[in-house]
Chains A and B, each alone.
Chain A
Amino acid sequence: MIELQAVGKAFGTTQAVDEVSLTIERGEFVVLIGPSGSGKSTLLKMINRLVEHDRGKILFKGEEIRSFRPEDIRRRMGYAIQSTGLFPHWSVARNIATVPELLGWPAARIAARVDELLALLGLDPQAYRGRYPHQLSGGQQQRVGVARALAADPEALLMDEPFGALDPITRQTLQGELARIHRASGKTIVLVTHDIDEALRLATRIVLLDHGRIVQAGTPAQLLAQPANDFVSDFIGRSDLGLKLLGLQTVAERVRAGEPAEGAAIAATMSLREALSLFVERHVERLPVADAQGRVVGALHFADLLARPP
């Protein structure tokens, strides 16, 4: 879907992005992460030509992005940013309708789409359609920001630290919503963040950048289990590396079917990290596991947490 070939960008004498090659397939959720000044945000902005690359090639569906008008390519990719950038003088509905309006959709189709998106993001269309951004909480504003980015059903979604300014609880909720939208829609998403937990939670592939270069790219499990060098381990956080690994897997992957255990059952969808916490809290070595219907299906053994990921 998006292909970067030896892309480079310099601001004056600083090389912001240096020889980056990356292919993003349809349906991937790629998270660009790195310390500040690593070039992650510049890299994202080069994809929709907010920043023009000065070396290499960027292809969108096989065509060099310079062959499109910048406005056209931007309208085909949703865009959401940290401070939401909602237009304060427009209602929620009009904000969401921005790109469909630019594309000249008929009014009825726009209105239907706005309601559909508000519902998708958990905002009651009746109540929120006519409100103005300043009447919303930070979390609601960012929901509208995401809805606006999705409005014209874009082929790809670019997000620049979309949840950076939110409190931890709201951020987690919205991360959950975004993961759900990704699973349901199969959209290609490229997201920039500096929060490693957000990356581990959302990404199908993490691209770790430093000084404008890719240090390591791979699935969250690959980065945790086989860090390419000390920089990667340091960035992920050495002290709780094991916990993060457990956080990527669910109880269902380690359950021993049919075995009995004492106490209240835990959900099969719970992460192993949370399960570990329960082992310690309850002073037990086995926990009963229940499926979505609440039927006990087996037991999780404390010792099995140590097994290598499959």
Chain B
Amino acid sequence: MAALALTQGGPGAAWFHNRVLAALLVAALCAALGLAFLSVAPNRLVSGTGLGLRELLSPAHALLGLPFAGLVVAIFVRPSRAVHATVVVSAALLLAGLVWLAGAEAARHSGALPTLTRVSLGGGFWAVALLLWLMAADALQRLGLSLAQRTLAHVAVLLPLFLLLGAGALDQLSLLKEYANRDDVFRAAGLRHVQIVAATLLPSLLIGVPLGVAASRSERLATTLFAALNVIQTVPSIALFALLIAPLSGLAAALPGWGIRGIGLLPAVIALTLYALLPIVHGTASGLRQVPVAAVAAATGMGMTARQVFWRVEVPLALPVLLSGLRVTTVQVIGLAVVAALIGAGGFGALVFQGLASSALDLVMLGVLPVVALAIVVDAGLALATAALEGPQP
């Protein structure tokens, strides 16, 4: 009957209210029942055996049924703010509950003594966690909150996970064991990653914004410039890194005292800057182009100097578009910086490639998760900044 209503839709199925939630919940159930929730291996080098959620759950976990029931009921209840809030809270609780369950199971398998046993999070866990996150995000969207409120709510949904992490409830998971083994390497990689991103963004802005301003003034320059930047964008990142090694090594040989090297931070930053130029130049140019012609004409006609027109009228009106270009660029650079580890630039990418080389999937995750988190946090921060700047406009 539920499946019938799902396909029928329309007013005939008035008792069936939230189709998105229903679809996500069905998918989550399939993932929970069909995929391994945890995988247990005797040591970190061999592949483990999968454990389904069905095998893990016992009557002792009955409390988890409460938020699950909340989600199921929300599908069939007339939508209201209270229902959406219930979905957010239920999804957050269920997510925290499952993470806690994974941590507890890992602890049970590892026992009290130090052991080589590794308990990793399986595909089922990641799929269910992602789907629960989507349920919460969808409900937050429906609540019609402001951007700032929504961002805060997302933080609140994730808060229990950080509490579990801080309380040590997850310490026996393989992911955390990898972290414990490489605590200092992880911190150094994080610092390096941020350094790469910052060292890329600074020259990108210093070169890209003036180029964007020039491109917005001259159609001819814009055509040539964007053609060149588009070509750079089509070169695969590994190829671009490799291409830079030879000329930089040559330069290093020619200028021995300058600290130039064919591998490491310098070629990485140069390559990433070349990639970052397109969105920065594009954001600047299109931001300036969408400034109303009449506003510039009026500003000039009333006696502003060219500089005053630029700083008082054009820049503030172009800033939201420029900032969203910067947002895209930053997220792109955070991701691309992973590949820079291949030429010895370091960063989280070093963990990823080390993990890939030793087929240690949890080490790969240890490199990937902070990159994703960094990208999401920076994206949200810049989105908030853009919204604050747009303030009075429609």
| Cβ-based interface call for A71 (8 A) | yes
Interface residues of B in 303-341 (CB under 8 A from A): 303-305, 308, 313, 316-317
- Size band of the A side of the interface? 20 to 34
Stretch of A19-27, A75-83, A241-249 with 4 or more beta carbons under 8 angstroms from chain B: A75-83
Name the contact of A88 in the complex, choosing from B292, B297, B303, B304 (C-beta under 8 A). B292
Query: Would A132 and B303 be within 8 Å (CB), given that A81-B298, A85-B294, A87-B313 are in contact?
Result: no
Is B303 a contact of A75 with CB atoms below 8 Å?
Answer: yes
Is B304 a contact of A86 with CB atoms below 8 Å?
Answer: no
Is B298 a contact of A74 with CB atoms below 8 Å?
Answer: no
Interface residues of B in 167-219 (CB under 8 A from A): none
Measured CB to CB, the nearest residue on chain A to B392 is A132
| Cβ-based interface call for B299 (8 A) | yes
Query: Would A87 and B295 be within 8 Å (CB), given that A48-B301, A74-B303, A148-B302 are in contact?
Result: yes
Is B304 a contact of A85 with CB atoms below 8 Å?
Answer: no
Interface residues of A in 77-99 (CB under 8 A from B): 78-79, 81-89, 91, 98-99
Is A74 a contact of B294 with CB atoms below 8 Å?
Answer: no
Is B302 a contact of A102 with CB atoms below 8 Å?
Answer: yes
Query: Would A50 and B295 be within 8 Å (CB), given that A71-B305, A87-B313, A134-B393 are in contact?
Result: no
Measured CB to CB, the nearest residue on chain B to A101 is B312
| Residue of B292, B302, B305, B393 contacting most chain A CB atoms (<10 Å) | B302
| Cβ-based interface call for B394 (8 A) | yes
Query: Would A102 and B295 be within 8 Å (CB), given that A89-B317, A132-B393, A134-B393 are in contact?
Result: no
Point out the residues of chain B lying under 8 angstroms from A84, CB to CB. Answer: 294, 298
| Cβ-based interface call for A72 (8 A) | yes
A89 and B313 CA atoms in complex are apart in Å by 8
| Cβ-based interface call for B80 (8 A) | no
Q: Name the distance in Å between B321's Cβ and chain A's nearest Cβ.
A: 13
Chain B residues touching A, majority SS:
helix
| Cβ-based interface call for B300 (8 A) | yes
A87 and B393 CA atoms in complex are apart in Å by 11
Name the contact of B301 in the complex, choosing from A72, A81, A86, A102 (C-beta under 8 A). A81
Is B305 a contact of A81 with CB atoms below 8 Å?
Answer: no
Point out the residues of chain A lying under 8 angstroms from B392, CB to CB. Answer: 89, 91, 132
Is A99 a contact of B302 with CB atoms below 8 Å?
Answer: yes
Name the contact of B297 in the complex, choosing from A85, A91, A149 (C-beta under 8 A). A85
Query: Would A72 and B299 be within 8 Å (CB), given that A89-B317, A132-B393 are in contact?
Result: no
Name the contact of A75 in the complex, choosing from B292, B298, B302 (C-beta under 8 A). B302
Measured CB to CB, the nearest residue on chain B to A76 is B303
Interface size on B, residues (CB 8 A): 20
Name the contact of B302 in the complex, choosing from A83, A98, A132 (C-beta under 8 A). A98
A50 and B306 CA atoms in complex are apart in Å by 12
Query: Would A88 and B295 be within 8 Å (CB), given that A132-B393, A134-B394 are in contact?
Result: yes
Query: Would A74 and B302 be within 8 Å (CB), given that A89-B393, A134-B393 are in contact?
Result: yes
Is B316 a contact of A79 with CB atoms below 8 Å?
Answer: no
Interface residues of A in 124-153 (CB under 8 A from B): 132, 134, 145, 148-149
Is B303 a contact of A71 with CB atoms below 8 Å?
Answer: yes
Point out the residues of chain A lying under 8 angstroms from B317, CB to CB. Answer: 87-89
A236 and B393 CA atoms in complex are apart in Å by 43
Point out the residues of chain B lying under 8 angstroms from A73, CB to CB. Answer: 303
Q: Name the distance in Å between B385's Cβ and chain A's nearest Cβ.
A: 16
Query: Would A87 and B299 be within 8 Å (CB), given that A81-B294, A132-B393 are in contact?
Result: yes
Query: Would A89 and B316 be within 8 Å (CB), given that A81-B297, A84-B294, A134-B393 are in contact?
Result: yes
Is A102 a contact of B393 with CB atoms below 8 Å?
Answer: no
Point out the residues of chain B lying under 8 angstroms from A81, CB to CB. Answer: 294, 297-298, 301
A71 and B303 CA atoms in complex are apart in Å by 4
Point out the residues of chain A lying under 8 angstroms from B393, CB to CB. Answer: 88-89, 132, 134
Q: Name the distance in Å between A8's Cβ and chain B's nearest Cβ.
A: 22
Measured CB to CB, the nearest residue on chain A to B298 is A85
Q: Name the distance in Å between B309's Cβ and chain A's nearest Cβ.
A: 10
Point out the residues of chain B lying under 8 angstroms from A71, CB to CB. Answer: 303-305
Q: Name the distance in Å between B333's Cβ and chain A's nearest Cβ.
A: 29
Point out the residues of chain A lying under 8 angstroms from B300, CB to CB. Answer: 50, 74
Is B295 a contact of A79 with CB atoms below 8 Å?
Answer: no
Residues of A within 8 A of B (CB): 45, 48, 50, 70-75, 78-79, 81-89, 91, 98-99, 102, 132, 134, 145, 148-149, 158
Residues of B within 8 A of A (CB): 292, 294-305, 308, 313, 316-317, 392-394
29 cross-chain CB contacts under 8 A: A45-B301, A48-B301, A50-B297, A50-B300, A70-B303, A71-B305, A74-B301, A74-B303, A79-B301, A81-B297, A81-B298, A82-B294, A83-B292, A83-B294, A84-B298, A86-B298, A87-B298, A87-B313, A88-B393, A89-B317, A89-B392, A91-B392, A99-B302, A102-B303, A102-B304, A102-B308, A132-B392, A134-B393, A148-B302
Kindly list the 10 A-B residue pairs having the minimum CB-CB distance in the complex, ordered from nearest.
A85-B298, A74-B303, A75-B303, A85-B294, A79-B301, A83-B294, A71-B303, A132-B392, A134-B394, A89-B316
**New contact pairs (13) apart from A72-B303, A73-B303, A74-B301, CB-CB < 8 Å:** A48-B301, A50-B297, A81-B298, A81-B301, A83-B294, A85-B295, A85-B296, A88-B393, A89-B316, A99-B303, A134-B394, A148-B302, A158-B301
